[in-house]
Amino acid sequence: MAGKSSSNLILGLCILIFAAVLLGVWIPADVQTGLIEKVRRQVTVGDALAPTVAGLFLLLSGVLLVTVERQAEGQPRLDLRNLGFTAGMVALIFVSLIVMRWSGPLAVGIVNVLGDGDLEYRLLRDTAPWKFLGYFVGGTLMISGCVAMVEGRIRLRAVLVSALAVLTMIAIYDLPFDDLILPPNGDV
């Protein structure tokens, strides 16, 4: 990771651009009061002051990275393969969360089609086993998918261990507490 790298310079330039946009565009356009406000003849601190201080921290950081720490030793070198792996993992988690969100409603829909019923997931989300369905399927996919990515292969044992881990989490969070709501049942 360490070695001759210009990552500090690139990072510094990116931060300088971001700080300039923040201070020059975002704060003026997206904050309604200025740095200092006069309300009923009283001078008060406006909403823009605090984000401006944050922007100045970023600006100073960018200046230091580009000037003082430009040649610093041991700068990290970005490895595109590693970044690719992490991007894949984030994508997997994204898909798992989508599956978690929609497994329950989908299962209810399938039951409705097969049994000619009129069930609604929203009304079943506090009833077992419906309330566990999304969390179990999405959670198992998330854990076993991450394991498979690290191992470079899909193993039945890993899937079973993942399913067991999710069941344990259900037992920890849901069974003893009436007021804890597992995802995604709080806002479906």
The interaxial angle of helices 49-66 and 7-21, nearest 10 deg, is 150
Stretch that binds another protein, among 102-110, 113-121, 122-130, 180-188 (CB under 8 A): 180-188
The rounded distance, in Å, linking the Cα atoms of 52 and 22 is: 8
According to CB under 8 A, which residues from 69 to 88 bind another protein? 69, 71-76, 78, 82-83, 85-86
146 belongs to the binding site for another protein (CB under 8 A): yes
Stretch that binds another protein, among 5-13, 103-111, 112-120, 122-130 (CB under 8 A): 5-13
134 belongs to the binding site for another protein (CB under 8 A): no
Alpha carbon 147 to chain centroid distance? 19
127 belongs to the binding site for another protein (CB under 8 A): no
57 belongs to the binding site for another protein (CB under 8 A): yes
Q: How far is the CB of 123 from another protein (least distance, A)?
A: 18
Q: Is the peptide bond before 129 cis (omega within 30 degrees of 0)?
A: yes
The rounded distance, in Å, linking the Cα atoms of 63 and 78 is: 21
What distance, in Å, lies between the first and last C-alpha atoms of the chain?
44
